[in-house]
Amino acid sequence: MDRIRIRGGNTLAGTIHISGAKNAALPLMIASLLTDDTLTLENVPHLADVEQLIRILGNHGVDYSVSGKRVGQNGASGRTIHFTARTIVDTTAPYELVSKMRASFWVIGPLLARCHEARVSLPGGCAIGTRPVDLFIEGLTALGARMEIENGYIVAKAPGGLVGNRYVFPKVSVGATHVMMMAASLAKGETLIENAAREPEVADLAACLNAMGARIEGAGTSTIRIEGVTSLSGARHRVLPDRIETGTYAMAVAMTGGDVTLEGTRPDLLENALGALREAGAEILEAPNGLRVRRNGNGLQPVDVVTDPFPGFPTDLQAQFMALMTRSSGVSHITETIFENRFMHVQELARLGARISLAGQVARIEGVPRLAGAQVMATDLRASVSLVIAGLAAEGDTFVNRVYHLDRGFERLEEKLGNCGAEVERLSS
């Protein structure tokens, strides 16, 4: 099993190209199930989760092809992939595929909308909380689906097709909002979704669906109105930049000092997190095609943050910010409100010398003057990269084990950091 060695102490300087967003690419790929025409997606990142979803879609009969490199593109450019679901050959998403990635459960919406039936295994994915599928079941039931659980599978049927309705989410859910939008696009009549997720990835999916012929208004706000259509066509859509990758590298720069331009991203996608970084002492400037992040040698200031749905501080940046706060000049607090079990990186950061105590969903981080390299183990996708950030500032060598978590969500991380002066090396067992 691969691991990553990081030799700490180097400042970062240069340019990092930000990839297409994993959290946008996955629902966009799943949307290809809604049409028998070709859906072309640009700026698709090279990630293990993307490859796994391609296999899952292939199980349903989706063909795909990847365009070659175009003039002017470099190795940082995302792929252009064409997805064609001419015929759905199987409406079952089996356990052996779905158990490896939670987002694959989302195929239930398009399959129900187009084929009026679906049999989908209960999902797997990172162990960062229970993340029940109740909201998916309740939402699709509101659209007229009959839902049952049989032997670990959700069996969903809508013999006459889905029918538009009003549904109010009792709790904000990005995944369930994605699924409801896709399902309602082919439902009969109007659907009104209230307390919907406002994340940029939701608006990105809506833009793609509208390009395919859907009629969606209000995506990016808490109320989404969808007028169902009888069919959708193909389209061409560019995946938006990855705001979590943007924030991660911005925090790495703040941790090590230096001056890095994050190319191909948008500051409006993570204003709250950038505000927290500014409070901590980083200077963040808008660049012609992204952001410039730099920090002088004055040290890091402690900052308290609370994770919240967009536009709040993203839970997917919580672990990275905690790593940053381990080197602040005081005491900071991080309150996690989204997932009940997302502090598993605490004990691994402690192996590097961090001083962190937990009280329920609140982490108290007492900044230390130095971290020391050690053997650490990744426990989930975002926790894994927090260990990388800490390792960049630690004295000596840090070895991050179980890096397959990193490969799920960060494209060519060693190369991107290495090009800016970090000593990061992948070691194969």
Q: Which residue has the higher pLDDT, 398 or 428?
A: 398
- 149 appears as a binding residue in the annotation: no
Output the pLDDT for position 76. Answer: 58
b/e 54-91 (16+ beta carbons within 10 angstroms → b)? bebbebbebebeeeeeeeeeeebbbbbbbbbbeebeeb
What percentage of the chain has pLDDT greater than the value 70? 96
On the question of a common fold for 3-18+241-427 and 22-238, the answer reads yes
Residue 70, pLDDT score = 56
| CB distance 193 to 182 below 8 Å | no
Question: Dihedrals φ, ψ of 52, to 5°?
Answer: -65, -40
Question: For the chain, what is the mean pLDDT?
Answer: 93
**pLDDT at residue 123 in the model:** 79
**Of 225, 281, 289, nearest in space to 255 by CA:** 281
Confidence bin at 124 (pLDDT 50/70/90): low
User: What pLDDT shows up at residue 380?
Assistant: 80
Q: Is-catalytic flag, 126?
A: yes
Tell me the pLDDT band of 224, cut-offs 50, 70 and 90. very high
- Residue spans per domain, the chain: 3-18+241-427, 22-238
CB-based contacts of 359, cutoff 8 Å, min separation 6:
none
Alpha-carbon span 50 to 52, nearest angstrom: 5
**What is the reported pLDDT for 72?**
52
**pLDDT category, 75, cuts 50, 70, 90?**
low
* Position 381 confidence tier, pLDDT thresholds 50, 70, 90: confident
pLDDT band at 405 (very low <50, low <70, confident <90, very high): confident
Measured between alpha carbons, how far is 325 from 331 in angstroms, rounded to an integer? 8
Where residue 325 falls among pLDDT bands split at 50, 70, 90?
Answer: very high
Q: Domain 22-238 belongs to what architecture? A: Alpha-beta prism (3.65)
416 is in an annotated binding site: no
**Any binding-site annotation on 132?**
yes
Burial of 188 (0-12, 13-18, 19+ CB in 10 A): middle
Secondary structure string (H, E, C) spanning the chain: CCEEEEECCCCEEEEEECCECHHHHHHHHHHHHHCCCEEEEEEECCCHHHHHHHHHHHHCCCEEEECCCCCCCCCCCCEEEEEECCCCCCCEECHHHHCCCHHHHHHHHHHHHHHCEEEEECCCCCCCCCCCCHHHHHHHHHCCCEEEEECCEEEEECCCCCECCEEECCCCCHHHHHHHHHHHHCCECEEEEECCCCCHHHHHHHHHHHHCCCEEECECECEEEEECCCCCCCEEEECCECHHHHHHHHHHHHHHCEEEEEECCCHHHCHHHHHHHHHHCCEEEEECCEEEEEECCCCECCCCEEECCCCCECHHHHHHHHHHHCCECCEEEEECCCCCCCCCCHHHHHHCCCEEEEECCEEEEECCCCCECCEEECCCHHHHHHHHHHHHHCECEEEEECCHHHHHHCCCHHHHHHCCCCEEEEECC
Q: What angle do CA 272, 290, 314 make, to 5 degrees?
A: 25
Per-residue pLDDT band for 1 (boundaries 50, 70, 90) equals confident
Is 80 exceeded by the pLDDT of residue 349? yes
Does 135 belong to an annotated binding site? Answer: yes
Q: 23 labelled as ligand-binding?
A: yes
**pLDDT value, residue 259:** 96
Catalytic-labelled residue, pool 115, 126, 208, 420: 126
> For 238-250, what is each residue's pLDDT tens digit?
999 999 999 999 9
Provide CB contacts within 8 A for 16, sequence distance 6+: 249, 260, 261, 262, 263, 416, 417, 419, 420
Torsion from C-alpha of 64, 32, 98, 89, nearest 10 degrees: -80
Residue 130: its pLDDT value, please?
A: 45
User: What does the pLDDT look like over 277-321, one tens digit per residue?
Assistant: 999 999 999 998 999 999 877 789 999 999 999 999 999 999 999
d(CA 378, CA 406): 8
171 is in an annotated binding site: yes
Is 172 known as a binding-site position?
A: yes
Task: Determine the Cα–Cα distance for residues 248 and 21; give it in Å rounded to an integer.
Answer: 13
**pLDDT exceeding 90 applies to what percent of the chain?**
83
Count of all residues that appear for the chain in the document: 429
Greatest extent of the chain over all pairs of C-alpha atoms, in Å: 65
Band of residue 112 on the pLDDT scale cut at 50, 70, 90 = very high
Judged against a pLDDT cut of 70, whether residue 74 lies above it is answered with: no
- β partners of residue 191: 226
d(CA 354, CA 327): 8
Would the annotation count 157 as a binding residue?
Answer: no
Task: Give residue 161's pLDDT band: very low, low, confident or very high (50, 70, 90).
Answer: very high
- Reported as a pLDDT band with limits 50, 70 and 90, residue 129 is very low
Residue that is written with structure tokens 């990092």 in the block:
16
Q: How far apart are CA 301 and CA 428, in angstroms?
A: 37
In CATH terms, the fold of domain 3-18+241-427 is UDP-n-acetylglucosamine1-carboxyvinyl-transferase; Chain (3.65.10)
Has 133 been labeled as part of a binding site? yes
422: tokens are 């970090």
pLDDT in tens, 201-215: 999 999 999 999 999
139-151 core/surface letters (b: 16 or more CB in 10 A; e: else): bbebbbbebeeee
The pLDDT confidence band at residue 98, using thresholds 50, 70 and 90, is confident
Does 22 belong to an annotated binding site? yes
Whole-angstrom Cα distance, residue 18 to residue 410? 10
Nearest residue to 333 via CA among 354, 353, 312, 361 = 361
